Structure formats: C-alpha cells, structure tokens
Copies of this chain bind each other. A is one copy, B any other.
Amino acid sequence: MFTKERALKWLKKGWLLLLLTCLMLLVTRGIALAADPNGAQTLVGDPGAPVDYVWVLVCAFLVFMMQAGFAMLEGGFCRAKNTANLMLKNLMDFAMCSLAFMVMGFALMFGADKAGLIGTTGWFLVGEAYDVGTYLLFIFQVVFAATAATIVAGAVAERIKWKAYFIYAIIVGAIIYPIYGHWVWGGGWLASLPLGAGHIDFAGSGVVHAIGGIVGLAGAMVLGPRFGKYDQNGKPRAIPGHSLALAGLGCFLLWFGWFGFNPGSTLSAHELRISVIAVNTNMAAAAAAFAAMLFTWIRNKKPDVGMAMNGAIAGLVAITAPCAFVEAWVAVIIGLVAGVLVVLSVSFFDRIHIDDPVGAVSVHGVNGIWGLLSVGLFADGTYGVIGLFYGGGWGQLAAQAIGAVVCVAWAFAMGYATFKIMDRVFGIRVSPQEELAGLDISEHGTKAYPDFPYVGG
C-alpha cells in the first residue's frame, strides 16, 4: 500500500542516484569535445557523405536484427526449459559486448596502429573520437563485434552458468574479437601479408564467424556434452529443439540481417559493387539451403528441416569473405559446398563427442574457414583481388590459409583459456540437477512458457 513514508523513502533513493550521476559528470566535465561532433565540417568536405551515412547506418541496423535472428534460431533449436535463459543470454551478450567494445574493443581494433598488433586510441569513444565519422564506423563495428559474441551462445547452450556466459561475452567484445579484427581490418599484420593482396576477409567469414564458431568450439569442449546427448555406448542422440517455427523465423531474420552485413561492408554507397554483393549473398544462401536439404533428403530419405536452415546460414557465412570478389554463379558453387559441408561437419562433431546444440561450430567455424579459402580460389580480379582459378596464382590462397590458421589458433587458444580459467575459479557448468530442471528455473526462477505443460526433455 502507498504511504507517505514509503514515498519519501523512494524519493530519497532517487536523489541518491541523481547525486551519484552528477558527481561522475563533474569529474569528467573537463573532457575535450573535439573533431566534428555535429557533422557540419564533414559535410562541407564531402558533399556526397549523406548517402554513405544512410547506407552504413541502415546496414548496421540490419546487422543488429541478426541478434533477433540468433535468439530465435538458438532458442528454437534448444529445449523449452532453457528458452528464457537463451533469450537473456542473447540480449545481454549484445549489451555487454556493446559496452566492452565502446570501452576498449573499438580502440584496440581501429585505433592508431602499434606494430601491426593492436590499436591504441579512441578508448571510451571520447575526445577526438567524438566525431560523426568515428561514430559511424563504431555503430557498424559494434554490431559486428556482438555477432561474434552471440555465435558462441549456441555452442555452449543448455548447460553453461549464467555468470560464465556473462563474463565471456565481455572478454570476446573487449579482447578476443577486436585484437584479431585489428590484424585483418585495422591495418594489422595479416592485412599486410606480402602474398596476393594480403589476407582478405571482406565482411568477416573469419573475423566474425570463424572467431565466434571456434571460441564456441573451445567452450563446448571445456563444458562437455549435455546429459543424454550420448547413450551408454557413446552413440550420439538427437535432442530436438523446442520450436522449429522460432528457428525458421531466426533463419529468415539472419538472412535479412546479412543483407546489411555483407553489402554494408563497403562502408560506402559510392561503391556500386554493393548490388553484386547483395546478389552473391542471396545466391550462396539459396544454394546452400538447397544443398543441405538435398543432401539430407538423399542420405536420410527425408529432407531435414533444421539442417536446411543451418545450410542457409552456412552459405551466408561462407560467402561473407568472398562476396565482393566473385560473380553470382560462383556464389552458387560456394554455397553448394557450404551446404554439404555443414551437414558433414555436424555429423563429425557429433561423432567426436563435441556437443554443439545448434551446430554453431559447423555453421560459423567450419564454413567461416571455407569462406576464407574460397577467396583465394575464386576471386575473379574485377574488384582488386584475384584467386587461383582466375590466374592469380597461389599467393592469395596462401594468404587466406595463413589467416585461417591464425584465426583458428587465436580463437581456440583465447577461448579455451577463458573458459578453462573460469572453470577452475568458479566452475562454468551448472549442476546435473540444474541442467535436468532446465536453466530457466535454476538460473532465473522462471519458465519461458508457464501456461503450457512441458513434455519430454
């Protein structure tokens, strides 16, 4: 009930909060407002800037939508009892990654280069970084960073402790993703490899997807398989997800978001090549969905719904690196390979007892690497990069292979260390009782669908 005393108590708390805020402000008020924070100068210098700003912003917004896509896909592919937990994870990894990337990730990745290894300016996005151009780059990059983080959610789903997930998301956004990103996109050493055009990863098959997928692999290995994933003879059992409707929605949302991810990576609408990139993105996904569907149709006699979805996404992952350098029929080939690859890879990891509930390692890790290599094979020279099949020799392929190896090594080492250390300190896996009850109840004291009875798992 509402009483005067209570009202006063609440008011007091409110003032306390306001006071704290004010204090923080006074401390930081000396910060210089620099560069071009309102854009007037930039516009004078580059009258064509508005269309580039619109392009990059809209694409960034589409990439953000991939967060919804991952939440639906991962949620749909997991069991009902872990759905609320997955929603929170997907929301919070974006939030934490955004904060971590603003505090230090962006500076490490795109700040002034130090020895080809890390960036060193732009911390907290303050000072000289308070500039319309820098903010434009930031919004596009922060949604990429968060994509890398969220990929892992699927591989470690249904058994990782909330605390471990929370910490890991910060580390990916603050350190693992931006440092490797600097090497490829921030003027670092991989971009400058003296082979072909240097290591080329147009929109992040490696930087975003393989990094995410391989960190997920490390997480899945440290955690071990879910209860019931293997029978007494060690044979893998399918643990079906609780909603193929949500998974289907997620698949479409991801495809939609990828239209920002790949074409937006020109960072300029004055590169009319964006139309080619959009077409390639679409065709690779279509071909891969077809290939995965057909492959399971032949192998299992019935077309596999979940695998077709994963196939589409695998195609999108694979075309991410080469999308700007090939034409549409080559995108189809890259997609066809990706669609088969993802099915084989999922079986492979199932057999070697690495339990990846949604297939994130196969989709993003394996196909991320395939995407990197495909640049070295198929780049046709019309957009500055030329691969093996178009007379460019082995140089580009070598640069791609080196990048792929470095990517896997870095992501695995850093990911494994992160999860292993956390595991030693506080244990990253929930107890068997909690896992059986489901993370929704054990971690959040709630059910995702309290109005419906659950059966099975």
Contact = CB atoms under 8 A, between A and B. Distances in A.
A380 B33 contact: yes
Contact of A253 (B68, B259, B270, B449): B68
Contact of A102 (B75, B276, B283): B283
**Residue from A90, A132, A457 with most neighbouring chain B CB atoms (10 Å):** A132
B390 A29 contact: yes
A234 B382 CA distance: 64
B450 A453 contact: no
A437 interface: no
Contacts of A312: 91, 95
A72 interface: yes
Interface residues of A, number: 156
A249 interface: yes
Interface string A296-315: 00001011111011001000
Given A135-B275, A252-B71, A88 B293 contact: yes
B451 A303 contact: no
A120 interface: no
A32 B316 CA distance: 26
Interface stretch (A47-55, A109-117, A179-187, A204-212): A47-55
A57 interface: yes
A412 interface: no
**Residue from A39, A162, A278 with most neighbouring chain B CB atoms (10 Å):** A278
B303 A444 contact: yes
Interface stretch (A213-221, A237-245, A424-432): A237-245
A453 B454 CA distance: 7
A348 B10 contact: yes
A171 to B, nearest CB: 15
B6 A39 contact: no
A308 B452 contact: no
Contacts of A340: 17
A2 interface: yes
Contacts of A273: 37-39, 132
A147 B312 CA distance: 18
A25 interface: yes
Given A87-B245, A240-B447, 4 more contacts: A10-B348, A14-B344, A102-B332, A133-B275
8 contacts: A2-B351, A38-B383, A53-B274, A53-B275, A60-B278, A90-B252, A102-B283, A126-B329
